[in-house]
């Protein structure tokens, strides 16, 4: 059995999906739909840059979704590699929207609109430079929780777990001063951390205003029950009812992305093949750090697809 995974922010790069765009009319149609939904040429930003425009959160989020949906469709339609019989779909943060499009719950036009608005709302929630994120490495989620509790006893401020990404990789988000002080706090305990190059402190309580600004937009958008099991970032469990999916997407903006738990849940349900579809190989690495005795694939080129098809012919 297999699961399909869709990446989140940070995986983008100028030129992603360009070989698919050049070769397949179906991809050109997808890009055109997104351009028309947004009212500007996101396709040009994706394919030609400039990089600074692509890095704008309001562009990054619909761009990664557009690429993921494009590659998914090429696999299904051009290579007859049926991903629709996969046991689970899961997306990391904005990747959950890609999963919903591919599972027939959300139109690509509506996903592009919501992600563009989501990106703007998340960016506007905290003034530039007032938020920060770090990756804490080498310790587990429970150890990080204990450290945060101890830190809160000596300092007020926002310092929260944003992502439980993989075994030994937990992301912290909050106000800049608190996150920097927390980094020094754990450095004294010989715990390694890395600052992340982000424009806002995602997935923490500082994003509640962004969630509120998205509530009406999400609730007014048409969702239908997905054809396949979608793993919710917030619950790390499947969700198949459109009404519940809407509420979880609102909560997801300011709550922890439970990615490690999601991957473990999928594995415990008998899945041994994980297929990451979209730019980069970030999720592939997270799967390998968290699970043993599974196969994980990253699909972001035609060569990757051919290798995948050959692998499943064996």
For the question of residue 93 being annotated catalytic, the response is: yes
Alpha-carbon distances, residue 170 vs 130, 133, 143, 195, 263 (angstroms)? 21, 10, 10, 12, 15
Beta-strand ranges (E) seen in 86-242 are 88-91, 131-137, 159-166, 169-175, 192-195, 229-231, 238-239
Q: Which residues are within 8 A (CB) of 119 and not within 5 positions of it... i.e. 6 or more apart?
A: 56, 57, 58, 59, 60, 61, 62
Q: Nearest-CA neighbor of 36 among 91, 112, 138?
A: 112
Catalytic residue from among 11, 86, 93, 298: 93
Q: What are phi and psi of 30, to 5 degrees?
A: -65, -50
| CA angle (133, 63, 17) in 5-degree steps | 115
Alpha-carbon distances, residue 215 vs 174, 246, 251 (angstroms)? 22, 9, 9
**CA distance from start to end of the chain:** 15
Pairing of strands 131-137, 169-175: antiparallel
How far apart are the C-alpha atoms of 46 and 27, rounded to whole Å? 13
For the question of residue 272 being annotated catalytic, the response is: no
Catalytic residue from among 203, 232, 296, 298: 203
Active site residues: 93, 203
């Amino acid at each position: 059995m297999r699961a399909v995974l869709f990446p989140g922010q940070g995986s983008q790069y100028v030129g992603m999906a360009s070989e698919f765009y050049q070769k397949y009319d179906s991809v050109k149609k997808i890009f055109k739909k997104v351009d028309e939904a947004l009212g500007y040429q996101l396709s040009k930003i994706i394919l030609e840059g400039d990089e600074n425009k692509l890095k704008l959160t309001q562009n990054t989020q619909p761009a990664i979704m557009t690429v993921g949906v494009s590659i998914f469709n090429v696999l299904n339609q051009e290579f007859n590699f049926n991903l629709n019989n996969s046991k689970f779909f899961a997306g990391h943060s904005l990747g959950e929207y890609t999963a919903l499009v591919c599972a027939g719950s959300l139109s690509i036009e509506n996903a592009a609109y919501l992600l563009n608005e989501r990106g703007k709302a998340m960016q506007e929630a905290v003034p530039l430079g007032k938020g920060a994120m770090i990756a804490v490495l080498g310790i587990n989620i429970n150890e990080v929780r204990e450290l945060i509790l101890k830190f809160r006893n000596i300092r007020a401020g926002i310092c929260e777990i944003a992502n439980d990404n993989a075994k030994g990789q937990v992301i912290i988000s909050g106000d800049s001063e608190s996150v920097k002080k927390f980094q020094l706090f754990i450095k004294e305990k010989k715990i390694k951390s890395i600052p992340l190059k982000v424009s806002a402190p995602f997935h923490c309580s500082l994003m509640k205003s962004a969630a509120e600004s998205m509530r009406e937009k999400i609730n007014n958008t048409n969702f239908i029950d997905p054809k396949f099991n979608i793993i919710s970032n917030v619950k790390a469990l499947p969700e198949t009812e459109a009404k519940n999916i809407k509420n979880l997407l609102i909560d997801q903006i300011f709550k922890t992305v439970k990615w490690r738990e999601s991957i473990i849940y999928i594995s415990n349900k008998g899945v041994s093949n994980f297929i990451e579809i979209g730019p980069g190989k970030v999720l592939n690495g997270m799967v390998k750090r968290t699970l043993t005795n599974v196969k994980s694939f990253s699909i972001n080129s035609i060569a990757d697809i051919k290798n995948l098809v050959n692998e499943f012919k064996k």
